[in-house]
Amino acid sequence: LLKMLSTEPLLWLTMLIYIIIRIFAHLDTLPEVLNDIAGADIAVIGVFLSFFLVLFVNDANSTVENIYSISMECKARVLDVAALAKTTLPREHGLRLVRYMNAVHTAGYVGLSGVYNYENF
């Protein structure tokens, strides 16, 4: 995650803009546009940012909840197949089938993130 953040151009652009504004503010040479922003305008911007932050967090939580739900459904199907394999297949074939299904389930988790690739999985 840290490696991905360190190579993200939008992060560095945002940091650069912030640093430039802080330097100008420290030197009291802010552009006229920024000097005209009153405290009330900043409060309005803060309210909008808070509103969008709440929407973003809500959306992120919904996404995680959906992914968790899908994962639990997959786990339930693996358990269903394991029960069927136990009752209908010879032990070696049943174990092999369940191991393949567990491997596919694990690969599904890994596929949800960009951390693992062919070399380190």
Q: Give the per-residue pLDDT at 52.
A: 79
Helix H, strand E, coil C: the string for the chain is CHHHHHCCHHHHHHHHHHHHHHHHHHCCCCCHHHHCCCHHHHHHHHHHHHHHHHHHHHHHHHHHHHHHHHHHHHHHHHHHHHHHHHHHCCHHHHHHHHHHHHHHHHHHHHHCCCCCCCCCC
Mean pLDDT per 10-residue interval, the chain, length 121 residues: 72 83 77 64 73 82 87 87 90 91 81 66 61
